[in-house]
Amino acid sequence: MSNPKRILIVDDEEANRDLLKAMVNSFGHESETAGDGIEAIAKMKLGFDLILMDIMMPGMDGYEATRQIRKDQEYSELPILMTTALTSKDDRLRAVEAGANDYISKPVDKNELRVRMTSLLKMKEAHDAVKRHEEELEVKVKKRTEQLRHALEDSIEAERKTREAHIETINRLVVAAEYKDEDTANHIKRMSHYSRILADSLHLYPGEVETIHLASPMHDVGKIGTPDNILFKPGKHTPEEWEIMKQHTTFGGRILHGSSAKLLQAGEIIALSHHEKWDGSGYPKGLAGENIHLWGRITAVADVFDALTSKRPYKEAFSNEKSLQIMKEGRGKHFEPRLLDLFLENLDETLAIQEKYRDA
């Protein structure tokens, strides 16, 4: 072997220990001895590359000592060469079953011992090399994983900041649409929360609930294109003015159209569908029933409740009681029955939002 190895010699007879020690030392290895299995187990902490284990020993024989050594995972691959005067097949099988790698008959032949030890020690060296490689690889993988983790954290943080900036941009776009009307300052906050409550009551996936919450404020972004004299007219609109007023849905769709951002895509859907009605009498396309996108049907309920309970240029705010009565009359006409029923079931949560974001 290229480097001297440490060998533990276990035998209850001193003469045998001395003979094996002399042989092992002549091979260029270092040796340590033990008089029985108990001493051998105690000395395992000293660290060895191979064990020469006698079988027939008083107290704890070689079979039991080997089994005890193999119970420790640290020594699961340590070569154990049994030395025995027993030669029967059953004895050899017992040695293998106990965990021995090989055996050699007594009296021990020096050349045979050298050959068998050399083979087992080479196997041990190969195993140790693989183990070292695995440990080095584990360190490299751990280091690489740590680097990837940091990179991923940076990426997540960048994505989070991008999303926050995206949401802020949407909010500013919405504010621009509502800016001219002081009475609608908190309208977008209230109706977006109302929409979230309704979407959540449908048990939609959390991601879809968040999309509705963040995109619903864009429902009236098209009002940017509505002339002020029509948008803020205190009285009833003429048929011509009403046609212009209704165009804010398609204006909004055009403003938001063509974006690769999912929130803006959702905003486009909501802008185009939140004034459609369940019975098909809405606008801009006169869609009916489930042909109206779910997000638009949800937003319609939230938007109408807030519009009824808020002051507008053409009306004072209605009470909650009157507003709810009007909405109930629109069940199956303006609103999908299922959504209106869920809205009413979750009214306490809605009213809490109304109070939190009440206009000054």
Query: pLDDT at position 360, please?
Result: 65
Q: Does residue 142 carry a pLDDT above 90?
A: no
Last residue of a domain, one of 90, 109, 128: 128
Do 116 and 221 belong to one domain?
A: no
The pLDDT score that the predictor gives to residue 180 is 57
- The pLDDT value recorded for residue 1 is 46
Q: Which helix (H) or strand (E) holds 223?
A: none
- Spatial CB neighbours of 356, under 8 Å, sequence gap ≥ 6: none
Q: Tell me whether residue 122 is in a domain.
A: yes
- Residue 224 and residue 330 in one domain: yes
**Would you give the end-to-end CA distance of the chain in angstroms?**
91
pLDDT at residue 183 tops 60: no
pLDDT at position 111, please?
93
Instruction: Give me the mean pLDDT over the 38-44 stretch.
Output: 93
Residue 171 lies in a domain: no
Rounded distance between C-alpha atoms, residue 35 and residue 19, angstroms: 14
- Whether pLDDT at 131 is above 90: no
> How far is Cα 5 from Cα 122, in angstroms, rounded to an integer?
11
Q: Are residues 211 and 323 in the same domain?
A: yes
Say whether both 194 and 284 belong to one domain: yes
- 118 and 218 housed in the same domain: no
pLDDT in tens, 66-84: 999 999 988 988 999 998 8
| Contact indicator for 339, 298 with CB cutoff of 8 Å | yes
Task: Give the span between the Cα atoms of 37 and 64, in whole angstroms.
Answer: 8
Model pLDDT, residue 338: 97
Share of the chain above pLDDT 70, in %: 94
Task: Lay out the sheet containing 50-54: strands in order across.
Answer: 30-34, 6-10, 50-54, 80-84, 102-105
The CATH number given to whatever domain includes residue 24 is 3.40.50.2300
Mean pLDDT of 149-155: 80
- Give the domain range for residue 17: 6-128
46 located within any domain: yes
Name the amino acid, one letter, at 331.
R
3 state DSSP class of 265 = helix
**Residues 190 and 274 grouped into a single domain:** yes
**Number of domains into which the chain is organized:** 2
H helical segments located in the chain: 14-26, 37-42, 62-70, 89-98, 110-178, 187-201, 206-215, 228-231, 239-246, 248-256, 262-273, 294-308, 320-329, 337-345, 347-356
